[in-house]
Amino acid sequence: MPGAPVDALRTVPLFANLDDEELAQVALLFKTRRFPAGETIVKEGTDAAAFFLIESGEAAVSVRGSERRSLGPGDHFGEIALIDEGVRSATITATTDLACYGLTLWEFRPLVVENGEVGWKLLQSVALKLRNAELS
């Protein structure tokens, strides 16, 4: 089945305001990617190319060499990279064999550029994230 499961995408804050049809469009853009245990998935400080949603397996998050937390099925990372093409803020390493759904900024951007409604909803999500950050 091509793409990522829509239900899993509902849990991603960036996509929280999208309706079912919009989520289905985004879901179709995902491709599966597998990492063997021990492989570095993303490295702190490198340019970010994709957002990942974990389907199965476990991964460890570390910042400046210090382990912070672990990730498992349903967890995700890198959604802001889809918009700003910025650098990774953490290193994430597969601690078991890992299956992910991945979405690159190259594929995400045309959908947003061509669909102003989706763009506006993403903007709202980012604004909410910013507001929460100011309050915390």
Partner 1 sequence: MRVLLPLTEVSDTSVFGSKAVGLGQAVRDGLPVPPGVALSGALVEAVASDDGDALALVAAAVGPLGGPLAVRSSAVDEDGAEASFAGQHLTLLNVPSAAELGTALREIWWSANSDSAITYRKRVGLFTRPSVAVVVQALLDPECAGVMFTRNPVTGADERMIEASWGLGEAVVAGLVIPDSYRVRRDGQVLERRAGLKRVAIRSLAAGGTVEEDVAAELVEKLCLDDARLVELSGLARRCEEVYGLDRDVEWAFADSTLYLLQCRGVTRVGGS
* Interface residue with partner 1, options 12, 18, 48, 53 (CB under 8 A): 48
Q: What is the length of the chain?
A: 136
- Binding part of the chain for partner 1, among 17-25, 41-49, 55-63, 121-129 by CB under 8 A, reads 41-49
Given 11, 32, 70, 124, the residue binding partner 1 (CB under 8 A):
32
* Closest approach of partner 1 to the CB of residue 103, in Å: 10
Closest-CA residue to 20 (of 31, 36, 33, 9):
9
Nearer to partner 1, 23 or 48 (CB): 48
| 36 SS3 class | coil
Amino acid at 70: S
Cβ neighbours of residue 2 under 8 Å, at least 6 residues apart?
A: 28
CA 130 to chain CA centroid, nearest Å = 17
Using CB under 8 A as the binding rule, whether residue 57 contacts partner 1 is answered as no
Residues near partner 1, by CB under 8 A: 1-3, 31-34, 42-43, 46-50, 88, 102, 104, 106
